[in-house]
Amino acid sequence: SQKIEQNSEALNIQEGKTATLTCNYTNYSPAYLQWYRQDPGRGPVFLLLIRENEKEKRKERLKVTFDTTLKQSLFHITASQPADSATYLCALVAGGNKLTFGTGTQLKVEL
Amino acid sequence: EPEVTQTPSHQVTQMGQEVILRCVPISNHLYFYWYRQILGQKVEFLVSFYNNEISEKSEIFDDQFSVERPDGSNFTLKIRSTKLEDSAMYFCASSENRDQETQYFGPGTRLLVL
């Protein structure tokens, strides 16, 4: 069956460190993969998109990698800040344009 | 910066009642979507809409659900006879065109069915 797995346990890190979040998928051949941020009670906010033929994408303190052999994407936030605390969602598009989301990983950045 | 808006922010209804959730997508966008998120669970796709018709729908989107673009700006989701399990956050999203992959989400409507 098709699955998108993100670490369900919350990730707690210290301010200034790099946070690394993982998204693994099975039985998908995604055309591209996206990362969204979601704050409690709010809608997802788009962060980054990476296509199947791209290995890495960066935007300011954010970096995404995509390994279609391992079927994995890693999402990095460098120099993390308390304001980065949120739930981070990975989402695949594999045919059509509907997004299929993972369950998300909650990140907490502590002072 | 343009954004997707949704009304109401909260809706409480009795089981069996009809509800209409409203969305105003970003003005030059052509693709529209509804997603829902049951408390503590993942965001799930319901339906996509383009050129005044449904382009894709999920198994969740059964005969109790319908969507409409009644005018040039609004996009609505109707649930004909609500069930307890319809309680969730409902998010509207829009994208500029099929090749513009980024979907922009609204703030959501929290629906509680009693």
Instruction: Give a yes or no: residue B111 inside a domain.
Output: no
Cβ(A50)–Cβ(A64) below 8 Å: yes
Q: What is the pLDDT at residue B98?
A: 64
What's the number of domains chain B is made of? 1
Cβ(A70)–Cβ(A86) below 8 Å: no
Q: What is the pLDDT at residue B100?
A: 58
Domain containing residue B34: 5-100
The shortest CB-CB distance from B98 to any of A34, A89, A97 is to A97
State the best of B3, B6, B42 to mutate against chain A, taking most chain A CBs within 10 Å: B42
Instruction: Give a yes or no: residue B110 inside a domain.
Output: no
Task: From chain B, pick out residues whose CB is under 8 angstroms from the CB of A46.
Answer: 102-105
Q: What is the pLDDT at residue A42?
A: 93
Instruction: Give a yes or no: residue B109 inside a domain.
Output: no
114 residues of chain B, pLDDT tens digit each: 789 999 999 999 999 999 999 999 999 899 999 999 999 999 999 999 998 999 999 999 999 999 999 887 899 999 999 999 999 999 999 998 766 578 999 999 999 999
CA-nearest residue of chain A to B108? Answer: A43
Interface of A with B in 43-82 (CB under 8 A): 43-46, 49
Q: Does B55 touch chain A (CB under 8 A)?
A: yes
Burial class for B32, CB neighbours closer than 10 Å (0-12, 13-18, 19+): buried
CATH value at residue B35: 2.60.40.10
Does domain A3-110 fall under CATH 3.30.465.10? My reply is no
Cβ(A44)–Cβ(A37) below 8 Å: yes
Give A42-98 pLDDT, tens digit per residue. Answer: 999 999 999 989 999 999 999 999 999 999 999 999 999 999 999 999 999 877 778
**Dist CA B68 CA B49 (whole Å):** 9
